[in-house]
Amino acid sequence: MRGEWISYSALEKMGPDVLRARISESPAQAARWVEAGALNGLIHAQIAWGRMLIEGHGVPRDPQAGLRWFTVAATAGSADGTNMVGRCHELGWGVPVDLTEAARHYRASAQKGHAWAQFNLATLLLDGKGVPADRGEALRWYVRAARGGNAKAMTMIGRYCELGWERPPRPAAALRWYRRGAMGEDYRGQFDYARLLLERTGRLEAALPWFARAIENGVPAFCRNIGAGLREADPPALRLLARRALERAVATGEASDLRAYATALAEGLGAEPDAEAASALFARAREIEAAVPEAPAPPRRPPLRQRLARRLRYLAATALR
């Protein structure tokens, strides 16, 4: 396939769905097709090629080149490309972090109806990053993103309702919005829905599957927080979930996460103890810690008498010049 010539008509037939399938099946082989599509002006291919370059997915990582392709797509009028230029400025992909510039691109894309740009802009407005903090305007963009199907925006609307941002707390509305986010596979929505469901109704059996889904879908750092939060819970089923969350957090490769999971195994958190596995994890944590060079100790200040003597010698020397 590598030496096969790729016709423009073949590229035209390769829509976004086919493109995603090719990339997921064989990134290295798909790279030639995606690059060819990008060079031939197919906007969805330009964005996919930019992503592959940013992530080093099937090609050597080149964030600067990825940003250039997003810019090409944005210049052609792509809201998706404009949003990705904003991501580059927000996260420092191929360019220094510039939250003001990120917000500018998010707003331009959001005004075209791009749901992810609407969510990204809302988050900057909520946190006051790159733009003045404005919780009311952030909510308006979250609502528009949610209408566009963005599950994370649905979860954030639930948070507004639960915490009473912009209007008095409405726990029932929060529960409904968290459920929408959970159904959309947002792991934070799944956790918040399970948590509020348990708090409001006490229905442990209904909450457990959502806690489990949040753990399986969540990033390792989020799983670390779930594990720490659930490990002291009374129902044994929640402690078992805490054990699984701490296991998922080990993927960070950090010694502290290895130790936390090892401690859970040694203590028998939620299940039978596993001393052998715990011992192996503790050993790995020690290896990681030993491989990290110790920070140099700060210079010790000489005793006051020595500092005074040094200062007097300096003054004497300068006075004799």
Read off the pLDDT of residues 291-318 as tens digits, 9 standing for 90 and up.
977 666 666 655 555 554 555 444 444 4
Do 189 and 155 meet the contact criterion of CB atoms below 8 Å apart? yes
With bands split at pLDDT 50, 70 and 90, how would you rate the model's confidence at 18? low
Return the pLDDT at 301.
Answer: 56
The type of residue at 115 is A
Return the pLDDT at 9.
Answer: 59
Return the pLDDT at 303.
Answer: 57
Tokens matching residue 211? 């806690």
Percent of the chain with pLDDT over 70: 84
CA distance 282 to 101: 45
Do 208 and 241 meet the contact criterion of CB atoms below 8 Å apart? yes
Return the pLDDT at 293.
Answer: 74
With bands split at pLDDT 50, 70 and 90, how would you rate the model's confidence at 145? very high
Please determine, for residue 194, whether its predicted confidence score (pLDDT) is greater than 80: yes
Spatial CA neighbour of 214 closest among 175, 253, 242: 242
Token pair 């489990």 is found at: 212
DSSP letters, 243-304, are HHHHHHHGGG--HHHHHHHHHHHHHTTTS---HHHHHHHHHHHHHHHHHSPPPPPPPPPPPH
Return the pLDDT at 111.
Answer: 98
Higher-confidence residue: 244 or 22? 244
Token pair 């979930």 is found at: 241
Q: What is the pLDDT of residues 155-184, one digit of tens each?
A: 999 999 999 999 999 999 999 999 999 999
What's the length of the chain?
321
Higher-confidence residue: 11 or 17? 17
Please determine, for residue 220, whether its predicted confidence score (pLDDT) is greater than 70: yes
Return the pLDDT at 314.
Answer: 47
Q: What is the pLDDT of residues 67-96, one digit of tens each?
A: 999 999 999 999 999 999 999 999 999 999
Return the pLDDT at 294.
Answer: 65
State phi, psi for 152 to the nearest 5 degrees.
Answer: -65, -35
Query: Average pLDDT, whole number, for the chain?
Result: 89
232-246, 269-283, 285-299, range with the lowest pLDDT: 285-299
Spatial CA neighbour of 136 closest among 126, 148, 145: 126
Q: Mean pLDDT throughout 275-303?
A: 82
CA distance 25 to 27: 7
Task: Kindly report the pTM of this predicted structure.
Answer: 0.83
Tokens matching residue 45? 């291919």
Return the pLDDT at 19.
Answer: 65
CA distance 165 to 135: 8
